[in-house]
Chains A and B, each alone.
Chain A
Amino acid sequence: MIAVADLAVHYRDKCAFAGVNLSVARGTITALVGPSGCGKSSLLSCLNRLVDMVPGARASGRVDVDGCDVLDPRLDLVAHRRRVGMIFQKPNPFPLSIRENIAFPLREHGVRDVGERVESALRAVGLWTEVNDRLDRPALGLSGGQQQRLCIARALALEPSVVLLDEPCSALDPIASGVVEDHVASLRGRYTVVIVTHNLAQARRIADHTAVFWVRGGTGYLAEHGATEQVFGSPRTDVAAAYVSGSRG
């Protein structure tokens, strides 16, 4: 499970978001929604410490993932990022073959049964039957939707407990988007999923919990968090009510 307490991220002088408290139960899907620039992606990047890669970025507060203090500077990043997989907005397969995209990270993490894991990861995202006759062809030759599913397979092959998705469908056409969404929904139960999305209908379809972020004075904050049907059906805050009804944002 994930527990976020009083989390804030600053980029040099600018505060991206502050005062966020959020908990995510194991095996559930939580959607982070809200307008651009309210800190959703920044929050996601705290969970796997990718925030470290942004020059001048600083996270404060507390983040626990499976009982592990994520913001501790002594955290073993390699082991942590293996437990917490991430899928990005734009598919980012490596310029390697389809097989190597999955096999290479596995070998780097010292996994032995690479061949089996490649196959089962590709099966898990429905790619196996589409690509098993061209595993050694470049991954960049795949369609956008296939590339994104390959990226999901690449992350799942490392057997993470948490999967973070940063608008995984927004760069895809509607049909590919639907296929990827179905695979994200199928992660429920086996993985703890946090997904950033601008697509409210998508959040409503797949998320158990929804967190609505908003902006106040240039700083993002968590406006409302609850079960998806409650947030969409009977929102407690005006901001969330206006946002989910489409009248604002």
Chain B
Amino acid sequence: MGDGSSLEAPSRGKARVGSASWLDALLVLCAVVSGGMTLLVAGFVARESTRVLWVVGLSRWFTDPSWHPASGLFNALPMVVGTLLTSMLALVLAVPAGVLSAAWARWVAPAWARGPYRALVALLAGIPSVVYGLWGLTVLVPAIARVQAPGSSLLAGALVLALMVVPTIALFAESALASVPAPLLQGAAALGLGPWATLRGVALPAARPGLVAAVTLGAGRAVGETMALLMVAGNVVELPGSVFDPVRTLAANIALEMAYATADHRSALFATGSGLLVIVALLVLVADRAQRARA
């Protein structure tokens, strides 16, 4: 995950501040600690997973009749699907909302509104997920239940998740749009292109690397989110037939079962954790690639 870049950072920068070699040492130490922590955590999770992976292999995670790890049944497919569906549905809602609000703040909003807007978005990004969950549980779930019972559902999870991911995407998208060179915008204006055409045809393509990074970071947050989904998504380990059906995500599953899991069951939870780690690592890789493409 972040370890590679953190470890490389001091040598890549090649900044030597006078003869303050203790500063160098301190920086190297910080880099090693932060990078090392990530490696240790990843290594620990992987090691704890191996016990069950030796026994079960890979294919049974998708072919077993059900998820009863205490009885040796390990079908995690419904939870993988639940995780991906909630995240993707959340992104489908959050990406346009986040990008458009960033574009609004950047080019349309009156000057006085920009400061409060940014403060509000930053605040939204900082609200603990359990608070989102509480709101979802008391407001959103009953509202969905009126349309179709039980209310706790894929839809509720995706909506709460979307709300949580929008500020992340909006903040990163705004900095991506800020990096669009002014000459391009002047060129668009000089051709008589309106704000909407400029956004679609010029600003979004120019900001694409940063926007991809914004979306992948949002996706990373969505995939790993635990508490809010645990509270509103219903937690039933079954493939959902519609958005009104309850789902259980991998992260919520770990939180739900860790307290009483032992032996192979415990190891199975770590294995699903490894799976999450791999997904997030891939997303970080994509974001990193996108950032580099900018240069």
Contacts of A201 in B (CB 8 A): none
Which residue from chain B places its CB closest to the CB of A88 in the assembled complex?
B183
- What is the CB-to-nearest-CB distance from A75 to chain B, in angstroms, rounded to a whole number? 12
- When distances are taken between beta carbons in the complex, the residues of chain A under 8 Å from B190 are 48, 50, 81, 85-86, 88, 155
Nearest CB of chain A from residue B205's CB, rounded to whole Å = 5
Question: Known pairs A50-B186, A88-B190, A158-B191. 14 more at Cβ < 8 A?
Answer: A53-B189, A78-B194, A81-B189, A81-B192, A85-B191, A90-B183, A92-B181, A92-B184, A92-B187, A94-B206, A95-B184, A95-B205, A104-B197, A104-B201
- B187 near A94: Cβ-Cβ < 8 Å: yes
Instruction: Kindly state whether residue A82 has any CB partner on chain B within 8 Å.
Output: yes
Q: Is B1 an interface residue (CB 8 A)?
A: no
Contact residues on A (Cβ < 8 Å of other chain), bracket? 20 to 34
Q: Please, could you name 30 A-B residue pairs with CB atoms under 8 Å apart, sorted by A?
A: A48-B190, A50-B189, A50-B190, A53-B186, A53-B189, A81-B191, A81-B192, A88-B183, A88-B187, A88-B190, A92-B186, A94-B184, A94-B187, A94-B188, A94-B202, A94-B205, A94-B206, A95-B184, A95-B205, A95-B206, A95-B208, A105-B191, A105-B201, A108-B192, A108-B194, A154-B191, A155-B190, A155-B191, A158-B191, A158-B192
Tell me the bound Cα distance from A155 to B190 in angstroms: 9
Chain B residues whose CB sits within 8 angstroms of the CB of A95 once the complex forms: 184, 202, 205-206, 208
Closest 3 CB pairs of A and B: A81-B192, A86-B190, A92-B187
- List residues of chain B with CB within 8 A of the CB of A90: 183
| Chain B: interface residue total (CB-CB under 8 A) | 19
Asked whether B193 is an interface residue with its Cβ less than 8 Å from the other chain, the reply is yes
Give the residues in chain A near B201, CB-CB below 8 Å: 94, 96, 100, 104-105, 108
Q: With A94-B206, A104-B201, A108-B201 in contact, do A78 and B186 touch (Cβ < 8 Å)?
A: no
A79 interfacial by beta-carbon distance below 8 Å: yes
Chain B facing A: main interface SS: helix
Interface residues of A in 80-102 (CB under 8 A from B): 80-82, 85-86, 88, 90, 92, 94-96, 100
A77 touches B (CB below 8 Å): yes
CA distance A92 to B206 in the complex (A): 12
Distance, CA A243 to CA B183, complexed state (A):
30
Report B148-172 residues with CB < 8 Å from chain A CB: none
Q: Tell me whether A16 is interfacial, beta carbon within 8 Å.
A: no
With A94-B206, A95-B206 as given contacts, are A82 and B192 in contact (CB-CB < 8 Å)? yes
The interface residues of chain A lying within 8 Å CB-to-CB of B181 are 92
Taking CB atoms, residues of chain B closer than 8 Å to A50 are: 186, 189-190
Interface string of B21-46 (1 = CB under 8 A from A): 00000000000000000000000000
CA distance A53 to B185 in the complex (A): 10
Assembled-state Cα–Cα distance A147/B286 (Å): 30
The answer to the question of A109 belonging to the interface, with a C-beta cut-off of 8 Å to chain B, is yes
Q: Is A151 an interface residue (CB 8 A)?
A: yes
Smallest distance from the beta carbon of A83 to chain B beta carbons, Å? 9
Q: How far is the CA of A111 from the CA of B271 in the complex (A)?
A: 58
B186 → A minimal CB distance (Å): 6
Encode A14-55 as 1/0 by CB contact (under 8 A) with B.
000000000000000000000000000000000010100100
A108 to B198, CA, bound (A): 10
Q: A94-B205, A96-B205 are in contact. Are A105 and B186 (CB under 8 A)?
A: no
Complex CA distance for A108 and B201, rounded to whole angstroms: 10
Docked-complex contact B183 and A92, CB < 8 angstroms: yes
For the complex, what is the distance from the CA of A109 to the CA of B191, rounded to whole Å? 9
- In the assembled complex, the Cα of A53 lies from the Cα of B201 at a distance in Å of 19
- Residues on B with C-beta less than 8 A from A86 are 187, 190
Q: Which residue of B lies closest to A83 (CB)?
A: B192
Residues of A within 8 A of B194 (CB): 78, 108
| Residues in A neighbouring B191, C-beta threshold 8 A | 81-82, 85, 105, 154-155, 158
